[in-house]
Amino acid sequence: MNSTTAMLSMLLPQGTLEALIPGYGILLHFITSYFSINTSSYILIAFCVCALPAFWDRFLLLLLRLTISIEIPYHDNLYDHAIHWISNYPGLSQAQRSTATTRLNADSWNTDNEKDLSEEDKSTLQSNTQEFWKTQKIRDRLSPICYQLAPSQTCFFKYKGCLFAVSCRQYTDTFGAWPVNRVRLYFYAAPWKRKALHDLIVDIQKASIENDNDSVRIYRGLKNGSQFRWTHLVSKRRRPLSTIAAEHEKKEQVTNDMQNYLLPDTRNWYWSNGIPYGRGYVFYGPPGTGKSSFSLGIASQLWLDIYMISLTANDLDENNLILLFQSLPRRCIVLIEDVDQAGIKKRQTENSLLDGANDGEATIAEAQGRPSNGITLAAVLNVIDGVCAQEGRILIMTTNHIDQLDPALLRPGRVDMKVLFGYADRSIIPADGLFMTEKLPNGSIRPSSQPASPDWTPDDIISLSTSFADKVSPNQHTAAEIQSYLLLYRNDPYLAVNDATAWWNKHLLIGWDVDLSLFYVSNDRFKIHDTAYRIRVAAFIFCYRWDEKSHSYQLCVLLLQRALSDSKPSLWESSGAGGVEGTDKTLQDALGREVREETGLDLLRITDSLPMQKWTTARSEWIGFSSIIEVTPSQLEKIKLNPTEHQAFAWATENEIKDGKYSFYGEHQTQTLKAFSVMQEKRLPLPTIETFRSSASSRGRE
């Protein structure tokens, strides 16, 4: 027996091997006799290979037990920083066993920053647009691959001259409705390197924050497993307040108020006087007036992160709401958007609107009921300024309808400042024009895209902005509407100014079935965007009539000739033209009334509309709405004129109108030809008149 065989016999006696591997003795005898090979050395090698990993795991476990460690749980924000740091640290991202992913975890490290185009990309965009967008699509799909430690993996690394270890351990969160797999991170160091281990954790946090320090981090309260936590959604570029369309005085007032609140001296003053250290704001006004944008601008100005919360989130109850607020950092903005739609009902009883004890949960809950998500008005009030309210944060609530909010939510102490965001006034509209520009390093200004002229100066841009403001009436458009319009013309500021009037006219449109009582003022005038207008409607009635000369059906329109007693006698106009009265419920009702009074025909439906008109007379501002209508076909040969208004009617073709057969009043000829263009383009089905009559004299009402 040689030494290898003796060693093997000592480590694994024959009987033990036979018990572990049935038939081992027969197989060993066969191999030894047939191949004349001594298998003892091979068995020893195989044994060592199989046993070494087990021994290493035991040794590693023993070694880690002798070290100091720090655990980072999954639900803590530090976990996100650590995962991001591990994926970027060379010694760990190239570990023996790694997990490849395009997202580090549920908390995506998304930003709204994109790399600038290379010169090659710019050339491709100019020469082959399709190829450029095809390449961009491929790049968008090829997300950056991140490498992190595989579960149950332990990896050693050196950092600042010290040896550390990190391991990932899986566990199952069974506290929610469904079991969820989670991961805990453990960092290890030698017992005498405790300070170095703590410094490592601090550096991990700093590295992540400094990498994202030039942006505003947006968090949202989301349910993660069994509880709600602040989840990082995106990091947005800091937005200068100068790019937000709002009155300068308003921006300055709110900014100064928040800055003064955040000063250390202010905090000490609050504490020394026993006043809860919190500040609340309500931004209210119509949609699109810049409430959310202003919140982002304020956060950018003050270098604060935004924590958003929806009070209508599923499974959000009072306890989770309190925990979310308690986990807020000391300096941040808490944003509750559209608080009027948060499912918290306004109390209806007058007694409950009194202050003092009426803010109690029992009174409020009884008055309003309890929403399905478990959040009551009392819970929100307690979180904002209750005994356990978090201090040091800035609360911003936005709403489109401040009148729908409960007075208890708006009382001083909970809301310290109410800021109205209205329609763009004369001071905002020029600023909206200036947002299309950029300031160059040499101090000059040019359009933010390709300059329309190589000789742009600041005066040119300011002049264009002022001209644009002169063409857009103040207090009638939101900042979002103006910005959307200007974005269409960012390559051509001159065209933006030239088309401003036509764009403004489009926004005066009122639907044919809209309740006019919402706009009525007096004396048949209707207030639209703070301007009182008189409204005029007109109808175009088309049909096909048989023409003997061409032996074909010709498209023709009904025209009416003004009476001799009229101010414009014998001139022609479209049918159903007249002013809207205060008794008309809708524009369609007014149109039907005019058609019935002037022709005796009954309006069936409106088939199409022409662009709105706008003009000014010595006494009034006017807007006009013209439409193509359908009437009862059987009535077309029984037109009944009102002799006090019209003396004759005619079915006229387009060529007859163009040839000057009819003398029109005002813009009726232009509008009639536009109606012909619409009919020829859409080819709407029309009735036919076999016997065509053009009355030369008045056909009075029967």
What does the pLDDT look like over 225-252, one tens digit per residue?
Answer: 677 888 888 888 888 887 787 888 888 9
* Average pLDDT for 571-583: 89
Q: From the CB of residue 277, how many other CB atoms can be counted at a distance below 10 Å?
A: 17
Q: Exposed/middle/buried for 577, CB within 10 Å: 0-12, 13-18, 19+? A: buried
This prediction's pTM: 0.62
Longest dimension (CA), the chain: 140
Residue 314 pLDDT > 60, yes or no? yes
Res 672: pLDDT: 92
Cβ atoms 217, 235 nearer than 8 A = yes
- At 78 the three-state DSSP class reads helix
Helix-helix angle 377-385:318-326, to 10 degrees = 20
Backbone angles phi, psi at 171, to 5 degrees: -150, 165
Res 366: pLDDT: 42
Share of the chain above pLDDT 70, in %: 72
Residue 677 pLDDT > 50, yes or no? yes
Res 11: pLDDT: 47
**Assigned token pair, 444:** 């000059």
Least confident interval from 262-276, 321-335, 379-393, 407-421: 379-393
Which element (helix H / strand E) includes 230?
strand 227-237
- The pLDDT-based confidence of 694 (bands split at 50, 70, 90) is very low
Residue 421 pLDDT > 80, yes or no? yes
C-alpha span between 461 and 483 (Å, rounded) = 16
Least confident interval from 10-24, 205-219, 451-465, 481-495: 10-24
Q: List the one residue out of 167, 182, 168, 200 whose CA is nearest residue 64.
A: 167
Average pLDDT, the chain: 77
Does 189 or 469 have the greater pLDDT score?
Answer: 189
- The pLDDT-based confidence of 396 (bands split at 50, 70, 90) is very high
Residue 352 pLDDT > 60, yes or no? no
* Average pLDDT for 159-169: 85
Res 540: pLDDT: 94
Residue 700 pLDDT > 50, yes or no? no
C-alpha span between 172 and 694 (Å, rounded) = 88
Residue 669 pLDDT > 70, yes or no? yes
Least confident interval from 218-222, 582-586, 678-682: 678-682
Res 304: pLDDT: 92
Q: List the one residue out of 250, 255, 212 whose CA is nearest residue 234.
A: 212
Cβ atoms 553, 544 nearer than 8 A = yes
* 217-345+376-420: CATH topology: Rossmann fold (3.40.50)
Does 601 or 128 have the greater pLDDT score?
Answer: 601
Q: Exposed/middle/buried for 51, CB within 10 Å: 0-12, 13-18, 19+? A: exposed
Cβ atoms 534, 621 nearer than 8 A = yes
Q: List the one residue out of 282, 278, 289, 255 whose CA is nearest residue 398.
A: 282
C-alpha span between 146 and 539 (Å, rounded) = 66
Task: Pinpoint the residues of the chain covered by CATH 3.40.50.300.
Answer: 217-345+376-420
Cβ atoms 535, 624 nearer than 8 A = yes
- The pLDDT-based confidence of 571 (bands split at 50, 70, 90) is very high
C-alpha span between 305 and 238 (Å, rounded) = 10
Res 362: pLDDT: 41
Res 280: pLDDT: 92
Res 372: pLDDT: 47
Q: Exposed/middle/buried for 121, CB within 10 Å: 0-12, 13-18, 19+? A: middle
Res 568: pLDDT: 85
Sheet holding 68-72, edge to edge: 68-72, 180-189, 162-173, 154-159
Does 503 or 165 have the greater pLDDT score?
Answer: 165
Buried b (16+ CB within 10 A) or exposed e, 387-410: eebbebbbbbbbbbebeebbebbb
Res 509: pLDDT: 65
Let me know the angle formed at the C-alpha of 493 by 492 and 496, rounded to the nearest 5 degrees: 95
C-alpha span between 303 and 299 (Å, rounded) = 6
Residue 192 region, left (φ>0) first, then alpha (ψ -120 to 50), else beta? alpha
Q: List the one residue out of 377, 417, 412, 378 whose CA is nearest residue 397.
A: 417
- The pLDDT-based confidence of 684 (bands split at 50, 70, 90) is low
Q: List the one residue out of 658, 659, 644 whose CA is nearest residue 701.
A: 644
Q: List the one residue out of 303, 308, 307, 305 whose CA is nearest residue 240.
A: 303
- The pLDDT-based confidence of 361 (bands split at 50, 70, 90) is very low
* Average pLDDT for 628-651: 87
- The pLDDT-based confidence of 307 (bands split at 50, 70, 90) is very high
Rg (CA), the chain: 39
Res 398: pLDDT: 92
Q: From the CB of residue 341, how many other CB atoms can be counted at a distance below 10 Å?
A: 14
Let me know the angle formed at the C-alpha of 105 by 102 and 109, rounded to the nearest 5 degrees: 75
Residue 131 pLDDT > 90, yes or no? no
Residue 556 pLDDT > 70, yes or no? yes
Tokens 């708006």 belong to which residue?
A: 410
Mean pLDDT is highest, among 211-215, 223-227, 460-464, 516-520, for 516-520
Cβ atoms 321, 379 nearer than 8 A = yes
Res 306: pLDDT: 93
Q: Does domain 517-682 have CATH number 3.90.79.10?
A: yes
Res 462: pLDDT: 73
DSSP assignments along 290-345, one per residue: SHHHHHHHHHHHHT--EEE--TT-TT--HHHHHHHHHTS-SS-EEEE--GGGSS-P
* Average pLDDT for 341-345: 64
Residue 563 pLDDT > 70, yes or no? yes
Cβ atoms 98, 147 nearer than 8 A = yes
* Average pLDDT for 566-579: 88
- Pairing between strand 180-189 and 162-173? antiparallel
3-state helix, strand, coil in the chain (%, to 5): 40, 25, 35
Residue 104 pLDDT > 60, yes or no? no
User: Residue 372 carries which DSSP code?
Assistant: T
CA distances in angstroms from 434 to 245, 292, 447, 454, 482, listed in the order given: 10, 21, 9, 18, 12
Res 21: pLDDT: 61
C-alpha span between 563 and 606 (Å, rounded) = 27
Does 553 or 258 have the greater pLDDT score?
Answer: 258
- The pLDDT-based confidence of 507 (bands split at 50, 70, 90) is low
Residue 617 pLDDT > 60, yes or no? yes
Residues pairing with 142 in the sheet = none
Task: Pinpoint the residues of the chain covered by CATH 3.90.79.10.
Answer: 517-682
Res 20: pLDDT: 58
Which element (helix H / strand E) includes 203?
helix 194-211
